[in-house]
Amino acid sequence: MNEPLKILLMGPQGSGKGTQAEILSEQFGIPAFGMGQLIRDEVASGSEYGKKLEAIINKGDLVSDEDAAGLLKLRLERPDTNKGYILDGYPRNMGQFNAFNFDSPTHVIVYEIPRDESLKRLGGRLTCAACGKVTSVSSGVSAGDDCSCGDKWIVRNDDTPEAITRRLEIYENDTQPVIEQYKEIVHRIDGVGTIEEVSTRTFSAISVQ
Ligand SMILES: [Zn+2]
């Protein structure tokens, strides 16, 4: 491949795009990152920009679309992106799309999984409020059972089917207009199946363009 591969990965929580981002990164030898990671790395670097972001976060405010895009612009100037990059989960709404006006992706991969599959993958999470440990009902424990610390496993408010459904609806509402903007380079990938099956579908979508 001579042209840089600039791949955006989209998909709801639990669609497995983080795993696919790692596989693509290794296969193509290009870096993969998401906005949350860029922000955390910049804060950890102690740079002037990082200090500005840290102050915003410490106040409990959200990093603005412009600041996030500024961070991405700096990241894309680094030489390891010369052959391309994989951007995981960004832009996820029209505000971010409009701020991301300094580069043009070559591929937008949208992982699609049915709502009930998302609920199955994301549901069943149990948390111990006392020690903070997390487990899953698939490991054989139930809400109300004892954690090893002696307290009880509970379903957090964030992990109820209603809360998960609400997050999935927000994703769909916010992301559909972005997908529409990119429609000429969008590849919709069936996200149901093994990691290998999904990555095979992804590779063929990228290479047949
Ligand atoms: Zn515990």
Instruction: Tell me how far the alpha carbon of residue 127 lies from the centroid of ligand 1, in angstroms.
Output: 8
In a domain, 124, yes or no: no
Q: How far is the CA of 123 from the centre of ligand 1 (A)?
A: 19
Give the pLDDT mean for 77-103: 96
Tell me what the pLDDT averaged over the chain comes to.
93
DSSP calls for 58-98 = HTTPPPPHHHHHHHHHHHHTSGGGTTEEEEES---SHHHHH
Span 35-48, average pLDDT: 93
pLDDT band at 118 (very low <50, low <70, confident <90, very high): confident
Looking at the domain assignment, is residue 104 inside a domain? yes
In a domain, 151, yes or no: no
pLDDT at 197 over 60: yes
Domain residues for 81? Answer: 5-118+164-207
25 Cα: distance to centroid of ligand 1 (angstroms): 36
State mean pLDDT over 30-36: 95
Ligand 1 centre to CA of 146 (Å) is 8
Q: Where does the pLDDT of residue 104 fall: very low under 50, low under 70, confident under 90, or very high at 90 and above? A: very high
Strands 125-128 and 153-154, how do they pair?
antiparallel
8 Å CB contact between 171 and 13: yes
In a domain, 12, yes or no: yes
Count: domains in the chain: 1
What is the average pLDDT across 136-160?
92
Tokens of 199: 């990555």
Query: Does residue 60 lie in a domain region?
Result: yes
88 vs 29: CA distance, rounded Å: 16
Evaluate if residue 209 carries a pLDDT over 50. no
pTM: 0.85
How far is the C-alpha of 88 from the C-alpha of 190, rounded, in Å? 17
Residue 26 counted as domain residue: yes
Judge contact between 84 and 28, C-beta under 8 A. yes
> Is the pLDDT assigned to residue 64 strictly greater than 70?
yes
CA of residue 124 to ligand 1 center, whole Å: 17
| Residue 96 maps to a domain | yes
How remote is the CA of residue 147 from the centroid of ligand 1, in Å? Answer: 5
pLDDT of residue 19: 93
CA distance 87 to 69: 12
CATH code assigned at 173: 3.40.50.300
Distance (Å) from CA 117 to ligand 1 centroid:
28
Strand 125-128 relative to strand 5-10: parallel, antiparallel, unpaired?
A: unpaired
Residue 194 lies in a domain: yes
Residues in CB range of 206: below 8 A, 6 or more apart: 5, 7, 24, 107, 109, 187
Contacts for 73 with CB less than 8 Å, ≥ 6 apart: 102, 103
Rg (CA), the chain: 19
The pLDDT confidence band at residue 208, using thresholds 50, 70 and 90, is: low
- What is the Å distance from ligand 1's center to 183 Cα? 47
Percent of the chain predicted with pLDDT > 70 = 98
Query: Which residues fall inside 5 Å of ion ligand 1, going by CB?
Result: 128, 130-131, 147, 149, 151
